[in-house]
Structure 1
Amino acid sequence: MNARIPGRVDVGAAVILTAALSAAGCSNAPGSKAADPSEAKQSIVSIVEESADAVGGDWTVYRGPAAEVCTQSGGGDGARFVYILERSDTDGTDPAADIRTVEELWQAKGITTERFESGGSDPLTGIRGADGPVTSIGFNAYPQRYSITGVSKCSDGDVKDLRSPE
């Protein structure tokens, strides 16, 4: 795993991750079909990795795909997956162009997107999305480190069983 860069990038990433996971909630929208856990896992891995491939560069797994408990629309427990990739070699990147690339990819997949930018003279930029194949997804295009965080739809399954070694 790459060394962590101290400072506002870590704090910013933590804030964005927390906001994405909180905004995602833990439930499927009413009427949405819960996926098989293996489908939910593969779905989030696919969109996160496809996003990283679209941007290019060398990405490493920061977390996951990790199973977490979520609440299904009927009120029962289910499983969702969180998958995070990061890239620290951002020299020569064009964050604005990379955000546009990711935005186009996500919109083509039915993901509703919203760009964000922090305040200040050196703002942190990125894009977040929801719907389509994900509960939530975010791309942070920070000058020192890029990251993509995806949260799958809530699926049938017991997290305890999904976390057990096979």
Structure 2
Amino acid sequence: MGRRRGVLAAAIAAGLGGAVALTLAGCAVVPVTGVTDSEARDRFAALLDDTQRMVGGDWQVHDDPTPRECVIPLWVSGEQYPALRIGDASAAPAAAAERVSRAWTAEGIRVTRTEVGDVIEVSGETADGELIVLRVSASASTLLGESECRPL
């Protein structure tokens, strides 16, 4: 009986030790993509530009060049860039929303689509933490988002 308790205690200790090590290792390393800050910002801008082209029409770009503070897991300070773009009404809002939804999904973006009245909202989140939201209707289009949070 004593040997079984010793083996059980060792197994529990090993399991707990492994879990603690994995937790600490996962939290100690800040998950950042393998690109520079400017490359990450350019990648986000390209996603916005591509989305504009899929919707069509003329757009006003009101992206903020000043980074905003954000927090990465374990309260590591970071910064991200906000974007806001306002476009013409789409000639076919449902078709535009469907094109964007398919393209984002093909790029590995997690997509959610909702409708409120005549407004169709397609929101997405990339694996890198970028957030992007498209709203289209018969009266206007808006595109907004935030780049991934990069450590300072």
TM-score normalized with structure 1 length: 0.66
Counterparts of 2:65 and 2:44, CA distance in 1: 8
Letter in 1 for 2:120: T
Higher helix residue share: 2
> Which residue of the partner structure matches residue 64 of structure 1?
64
C-alpha distance 144-134 of structure 1, shift in aligned 2 (>3 A): farther
* 1:95 aligns with one of 93, 96, 111: 93
Displacement, 1:127?
0.7
Task: Tell me the SS of whatever aligns to 1:33.
Answer: coil
Displacement, 1:65?
4.3
Letter in 1 for 2:124: G
* 1:149 aligns with one of 127, 144, 148: 144
Counterparts of 2:49 and 2:127, CA distance in 1: 16
Counterparts of 1:80 and 1:45, CA distance in 2: 12
Point out the structure with max Rg over C-alpha: 2
Displacement, 1:82?
1.1
Residue deviations 1:141-163, cap 9 Å, x none?
A: 02221011121111123xxxxxx
Counterparts of 1:114 and 1:130, CA distance in 2: 9
Displacement, 1:36?
3.2
> Which residue of the partner structure matches residue 104 of structure 1?
102
Q: Structure 1 unaligned runs (5+)?
A: 1-28, 158-166
Give percent identity, aligned residues only: 23
Q: After TM superposition, what 4+ stretches of structure 1 lie above 6 angstroms from structure 2? A: none
Contact (CA 8 Å) 2:101, 2:111: kept in 1 or not?
yes
Residue deviations 1:19-43, cap 9 Å, x none?
A: xxxxxxxxxx966325532123112
Counterparts of 1:104 and 1:123, CA distance in 2: 20
> Which residue of the partner structure matches residue 73 of structure 2?
73
Task: Tell me the SS of whatever aligns to 1:60.
Answer: strand
Counterparts of 1:133 and 1:100, CA distance in 2: 23
The CA RMSD over aligned residues, in Å, is 2.2
TM-score normalized with structure 2 length: 0.72
> Which residue of the partner structure matches residue 33 of structure 1?
32
Range with greater deviation from structure 2 (106-115 or 63-72): 63-72
